Amino acid sequence: MARLNVNPTRMELRRVKDRLQTAVKGHKLLKDKSDEMVRQFMLLIRENKRMREEVESELAVALRSFMLARASSDEESVEQAISMPSCRLDVKCGEKSVMGVDVPNIEISRLEGDLLPYAFPSVTGELDLSIARISRLTEKLLRLAEVEKTCNMLANEVVKNRRRVNALEYVMIPDCEETIKYIMMKLDENERSTQIRLMKVKSLIENAEDI
């Protein structure tokens, strides 16, 4: 805790008091914002965990089917089958505000198309299952990417906001309070010194009149 470098005057006292009042109000607002941001962050973290577990589980099944398809079909047929897109998505990337933080906002529209755009006899049913699962996972993967990026951005903002709150709580507010005490102490000392001088002057005048 350090004292601000100011002159101990009544004008400076008023300025420091106004500064302290602003810092206290700012601290409360930032603290409330930080608490709400942490709450939003925890909700997103839980949603991210749920989506990631769901995507990883479905992706593992799809990859298992794909490995079986490659084992039971020739590589050229599999390559030709998966070279054709099985679905089309219209993806629009934008931004939205979460507690004053601009985070990604992805709008996804699935366009009509053939889920399996190849001849069925050319490959096994395992590849059909794998492609169908992965096609359904495409939207979930984009949503997961959106939520994860939002979590990262909110986490960074929570850290920054916490630093601001700590700077006000442990540095600026105590420094202002210490400075106010110092100025008031100096003003009291000056007032006492002035009263003593006035008393001495009065005493000298009275003594002079008696002579």
Q: What is the mean pLDDT of residues 43-65?
A: 89
Q: What is the mean pLDDT of residues 83-111?
A: 78
Q: What is the pLDDT of residue 104?
A: 87
Which of 88-92, 140-144, 156-160, 178-182 bottoms out in mean pLDDT, i.e. has the lowest?
88-92
Distance between CA atoms of residues 208 and 148, nearest Å: 88
Q: 92 vs 207, which has greater pLDDT?
A: 92
Q: What is the pLDDT of residue 59?
A: 85
Cβ–Cβ under 8 Å, residues 1 and 174? yes
Residue pLDDT, tens place only, 4-52: 778 888 898 899 999 999 999 999 999 998 899 999 999 999 999 999 9
Q: 113 vs 20, which has greater pLDDT?
A: 20
**% of the chain surpassing 70 pLDDT:** 82
pLDDT of 119 higher than 60: no
Distance between CA atoms of residues 31 and 161, nearest Å: 8
Q: What is the pLDDT of residue 166?
A: 92
Cβ–Cβ under 8 Å, residues 73 and 125? no
List, in order of start, the domains of the chain with CATH numbers: 10-210 (1.10.287.3240)
In terms of average pLDDT, the best of 1-10, 128-137, 148-157 is 148-157
- CA dihedral in degrees (177, 178, 184, 190; nearest 10)? -160
Q: What is the pLDDT of residue 202?
A: 75
Count CB neighbours of 153 within 10 A. 16
Residues contacting residue 136 through CB under 8 Å, at least 6 positions apart: 58
Average pLDDT taken over every residue of the chain: 82
Distance between CA atoms of residues 35 and 26, nearest Å: 14
Burial 54-86 (b: 16+ CB within 10 A, else e): eeeeeeeebeebbebbbeebeeebbeebbeeeb
Distance between CA atoms of residues 82 and 67, nearest Å: 13
Residue 1 DSSP label: -
Q: Convert 99-157 into a string of H (helix), E (strand) and C (coil).
A: CCEEEEEEEEEEECCCCCCCCHHHCCHHHHHHHHHHHHHHHHHHHHHHHHHHHHHHHHH
The CA–CA distances, whole Å, from 135 to 19, 86, 89 equal 59, 7, 10
Residue 83 DSSP label: T
Q: What is the pLDDT of residue 135?
A: 76
Q: 13 vs 128, which has greater pLDDT?
A: 13
Distance between CA atoms of residues 121 and 111, nearest Å: 26
Residue pLDDT, tens place only, 163-180: 999 999 999 999 999 999
